Amino acid sequence: MPHRNMVKPDTHTAEIFPCHLGYQIYRDGRTSGKGGGVLFAVTNKFLSEEQPELKTDCNIIWSKISITGIKDIYVSSFYKPHEHDEHSLKELWSSVEKIPQNSHIWILGDFNLPDMNRSNESPSDS
């Protein structure tokens, strides 16, 4: 299992995903706190590019994947560090609002949802 701090800014991408594997790596490393940040990989079989204009004040990274014949896909890796961290959720929403309408959006990550019922994977009524 990779070390938890593998996405820190001083870790080179090639240490995580060697170039010969054929992926474009997108990452947002944290410089403070525990853990290392967010990362995702897109196969080089797809045309993808980072979307820095979608970055807001939270731990998030975005890429746009373009596939002929379908709408662009905006893919994100997001981390909300604490259950009651409303700031990160507001920043996530601010980021999503910048995406062109009629695009597909995939948001992956750790949302640390409060009062989550783990037995049926649904949030509580509160």
- Span 68-116, pLDDT tens digits: 999 999 999 999 888 788 899 999 999 999 999 999 999 999 888 777 7
What is residue 81's predicted lDDT score, i.e. its pLDDT?
A: 86
CATH level 2 (architecture), domain 13-113: 4-Layer Sandwich (3.60)
What pLDDT band is residue 124 in, cutting at 50, 70 and 90?
A: low
Pick from 47, 36, 49, 33: which is nearest to 10 by CA? 36
- Segment of 17-21, 39-43, 80-84, 117-121 carrying the highest mean pLDDT: 39-43
What is residue 106's predicted lDDT score, i.e. its pLDDT?
A: 96
What is residue 126's predicted lDDT score, i.e. its pLDDT?
A: 58
Average pLDDT over residues 3-30: 74
What is residue 99's predicted lDDT score, i.e. its pLDDT?
A: 97
What is residue 1's predicted lDDT score, i.e. its pLDDT?
A: 38
Lowest mean pLDDT segment, chosen from 4-13, 19-28, 62-71, 72-81: 4-13
Alpha-carbon distance of 76 to 63, in angstroms, equals 7
Parse the chain into domains and list their residue ranges: 13-113
Pick from 20, 60, 17, 69: which is nearest to 41 by CA? 17
Average pLDDT over residues 12-18: 74
The model carries a pTM of 0.78
